[in-house]
Amino acid sequence: MQTAEYHFDVLVIGAGHAGTEAALAAARMGAQVGLLTTNLDTVGQMSCNPAIGGVAKGQIVREIDALGGAMGRAIDATGIQFRLLNRRKGPAMHSPRAQADKRAYQQEIKRIVEEQENLALRQEIVEDLLTSPEGSSPRIVGVRVRGDAIYHAPAVILTTGTFLQALMHTGEAKTPGGRAGEGTTAGISGSLQRLGFRLARFKTGTPPRLNGRTIDYDKTERQPGDDAPQPFSFMSDTLQVEQMPCWITYTNPAAHDLIRANLQRAPMYTGQIQSSGPRYCPSIEDKVVRFADKDQHQLFLEPEGRHTQEIYVNGISTSLPRDVQDAMFRVIPGLEKAQIMRYGYAVEYDFCPPDQLWPSLETKSVPGLYFAGQINGTTGYEEAGAQGLIAGANAALKLRGAEPLVLGREQAYIGVLVDDLVTCGVDEPYRMFTSRAEYRLLLRQDNADRRLTPLAHEAGLVDDQRWQRLQAKTAEIERVSGLLESHRTEGVTFAKYLRRPEVQWSALVERLPELGELDEEVRLQVEYDTKYSGYVTRQQQQVDRQQRLAEKRIPADFDFAGIGQLRNEAREKLSRVQPVSIAQASRISGITPADVALVLAHLEHRGRK
């Protein structure tokens, strides 16, 4: 039988949130892309919660959009409730979040993928990674799929989600699979081990889904969306959407007693599951044990779409047996008669510790091979989409012979995410928080386009329409900022007057009515830029100091093992991570200022030689 062969510039394996953004990014930049997935009906599937954004995650979605990605446009088109979180805090903490019509979102992502030029979507099961030459220094050349076909490409991006040797747990029952109703992928794990990659195991969980028709909403708290919903995409002017409410209820001592009485049947407590899960998103079993002093935990009842009664119960992730799940809901207010449509479960899966990657997300040991998403030990649609976009862009840039797109920690939450992964590694599934970004005053969700779209335009990630829109917006911001500097009140400029904590924009409009006729997006940008300029200036000074460290590059062939005075732990960690700069080296867990000083001294000595 003759082997079928296909040729592409970039192959993306997996069509979840990381895979679709990776394929779209590379294709927008002109690469011929093959996107291979085991099931065409699950392209862009929301495996867990039916929502996009949230604290810090909303900032990432805005950044994905600023770089030309699809996630923001897709949620604007299919969202059923929009909220801006942390409104009572400063603008650096504002985070957009939206409930999605789960099926509509998935179909919208699939439509965007299908309509993208230079992109071929194929249903294939990948069984092996192909490298050449075989031996000590292989490079990727393609993949072999089931049915004995070969796809050739000089760049391959793995976005395998939770499917690598995945095992699902509900009580004592164990089922191979990375998502309910789907299978697992074993061949890729074997290929990675053969190529010398370290693999480890993580676990994640998902809650039960209920039939909304059987919920007594009179016993719950109604949670509506914002009166004036704000879009995620910088290309969306306004949102005209009929919003659906969510609801809130709480667990209680009766539910907690039931859970405690059945811990001996919970896989996390019997030893059946031994891998680490997300600490910030614990199962209900973990909550009851770890927070034993609390007599209730909040649960959010979230609709999965406009045309379904299915309700996602956010806050009650579990792998308890089915009969315990049934009994648990019978004692929770409003859910006493609720019918479970899908039972909760936990899933264990392989991932590759991300200190095996360069900041471009290319693997250190196999040129041309990139990892993005949960294979890197992350969790969340937004974190996955961000990594996919960076990996896809860098695969295309490498084909051109261009420098990779590496965002700094001062440029984007995406930069913080990637730097944390490749520098510090992970000991639990990684999730983004605003607290991880030391320069978050600079990284507001509202200015993501001004920060990142110029870089995206230079790389070829965005089209002329988006670029022209940004230029027009920037010009208007500069014009209005000029008005604030040229007009005076009470002996000071409008700009200085606005910096007073008690002064609101409306006070300026009273003195100059044309300021009340501005586009709302422009008005907010000017107001935030002006009101917080002192804080931003101080933070920029911190960035400048850090940049001076970052400018001290470490050559790829630098021999950390050859620094005799270096501590063994530091030598091992530096050799494993292979930092590209002194700044990155200083952020590695366990690396001390003394270690950094030794590396600097050897760099300078090498330079003199």
User: Domain containing 483 — which CATH number?
Assistant: 1.10.10.1800
Q: Is 520 exposed, middle or buried (0-12, 13-18, 19+ CB in 10 A)?
A: exposed
> How confident is residue 134, by pLDDT bands cut at 50, 70 and 90?
low
pTM over 0.85: yes
Residue 498: pLDDT above 70? yes
Boundary-marking domain end, from 512, 539, 566 = 539
Least confident range of 342-356, 373-387, 458-472, 547-561: 547-561
Do residues 127 and 44 both lie within one domain?
Answer: yes
**Cβ contact 99:51 at 8 Å:** yes
pLDDT of residue 168: 82
Q: Provide the CB-side half-sphere exposure for 192 (13 A, CA).
A: 27
**Amino acid identity, position 603:** L
We report the CATH number of the domain holding residue 225 as 2.40.30.260
Read off the pLDDT of each residue in 522-549 and give the average, rounded to a whole number: 89
Do residues 280 and 399 both lie within one domain?
Answer: no
pLDDT of residue 551: 76
**Amino acid identity, position 571:** R
Pick from 282, 576, 542: which is nearest to 424 by CA?
576
Read off the pLDDT of each residue in 570-585 and give the average, rounded to a whole number: 90
> How confident is residue 552, by pLDDT bands cut at 50, 70 and 90?
confident
What gap in Å lies between CA 562 and CA 430, rounded to an integer? 33
- The residues with which 349 forms a beta bridge, in sequence order, are 202
Signed CA dihedral, 351, 357, 363, 364: sign only: negative
Do residues 187 and 258 both lie within one domain?
Answer: no
Do residues 245 and 133 both lie within one domain?
Answer: no
pLDDT of residue 187: 77
pLDDT of residue 309: 97
- The residues with which 348 forms a beta bridge, in sequence order, are 167, 203
pLDDT of residue 181: 64
Residue 58 lies in a domain: no
Residue 74 lies in a domain: no
For residue 91, the 8-state DSSP code is G
Residue 214 lies in a domain: yes
DSSP SS3 for 237: coil
Do residues 429 and 478 both lie within one domain?
Answer: no
Residue 135: pLDDT above 60? no
Residue 95 lies in a domain: no
> How confident is residue 179, by pLDDT bands cut at 50, 70 and 90?
low
Do residues 357 and 322 both lie within one domain?
Answer: no
**What CA–CA distances, in Å, run from 21 to 43, 323, 325, 372?**
11, 40, 36, 10
The DSSP annotation for 6-53 comes to EE-SEEEE--SHHHHHHHHHHHHTT--EEEEES-GGGTT---S-SEEE
Do residues 318 and 447 both lie within one domain?
Answer: no
The DSSP annotation for 475-508 comes to HHHHHHHHHHHH-EETTEEHHHHHTSTT--HHHH
pLDDT tens across 270-301, in order?
A: 778 777 777 777 889 999 998 999 999 999 99
Read off the pLDDT of each residue in 340-345 and give the average, rounded to a whole number: 94
Tokens of 223: 């949670």
DSSP SS3 for 332: coil
For residue 207, the 8-state DSSP code is -
Q: Is 475 exposed, middle or buried (0-12, 13-18, 19+ CB in 10 A)?
A: exposed
State the DSSP H helix or E strand holding residue 201, giving kind and residue range, or none if neither. Answer: strand 200-206
DSSP SS3 for 388: helix
pLDDT of residue 598: 86
Chain centroid to CA 472: how far?
Answer: 29
Residue 54 lies in a domain: no
**Average model confidence (pLDDT) for the chain?**
92
Read off the pLDDT of each residue in 461-465 and give the average, rounded to a whole number: 96
Do residues 476 and 557 both lie within one domain?
Answer: no
Residue 153 lies in a domain: yes
Read off the pLDDT of each residue in 514-520 and give the average, rounded to a whole number: 92
> How confident is residue 503, by pLDDT bands cut at 50, 70 and 90?
very high
Boundary-marking domain end, from 423, 440, 458 = 458
pLDDT of residue 1: 67
Number of alpha helices (DSSP H) and beta strands (DSSP E) in the chain: 20, 24
Residue 69 lies in a domain: no
pLDDT tens across 372-387, in order?
A: 999 999 999 999 999 9
Residue 520: pLDDT above 60? yes
Read off the pLDDT of each residue in 398-408 and give the average, rounded to a whole number: 96
Pick from 37, 194, 199: which is nearest to 130 by CA?
194
Do residues 213 and 199 both lie within one domain?
Answer: no
What gap in Å lies between CA 33 and CA 17, rounded to an integer? 16
What gap in Å lies between CA 532 and CA 554, rounded to an integer? 36
Q: Around Cβ 500, how many Cβ atoms within 10 Å?
A: 12
**What CA–CA distances, in Å, run from 125 to 110, 140, 197?**
18, 18, 21
We report the CATH number of the domain holding residue 369 as 3.50.50.60
What gap in Å lies between CA 176 and CA 298, rounded to an integer? 31
| Domain ranges, residue 112 | 4-49+108-204+350-458
DSSP SS3 for 247: strand
Do residues 535 and 586 both lie within one domain?
Answer: no
What gap in Å lies between CA 205 and CA 180, rounded to an integer? 11
Residue 174: pLDDT above 80? no
Let me know the angle formed at the C-alpha of 286 by 349 and 250, rounded to the nearest 5 degrees. Answer: 120
We report the CATH number of the domain holding residue 579 as 1.10.150.570
**Amino acid identity, position 70:** A
Boundary-marking domain end, from 310, 325, 344 = 344
Read off the pLDDT of each residue in 136-165 and give the average, rounded to a whole number: 91
Do residues 329 and 471 both lie within one domain?
Answer: no
Do residues 420 and 434 both lie within one domain?
Answer: yes
**Amino acid identity, position 246:** C
pLDDT of residue 595: 84
Read off the pLDDT of each residue in 390-403 and give the average, rounded to a whole number: 97
Residue 191 lies in a domain: yes
What gap in Å lies between CA 558 and CA 536, rounded to an integer? 36
Count up the domains in the chain and report the number. 4
Length of the chain: 609
What gap in Å lies between CA 15 and CA 123, rounded to an integer? 10
pLDDT tens across 77-101, in order?
A: 999 999 999 999 989 999 999 999 9
Q: Is 490 exposed, middle or buried (0-12, 13-18, 19+ CB in 10 A)?
A: exposed
pLDDT of residue 504: 93
Read off the pLDDT of each residue in 537-559 and give the average, rounded to a whole number: 85
**Cβ contact 13:106 at 8 Å:** no
Chain centroid to CA 245: how far?
Answer: 25
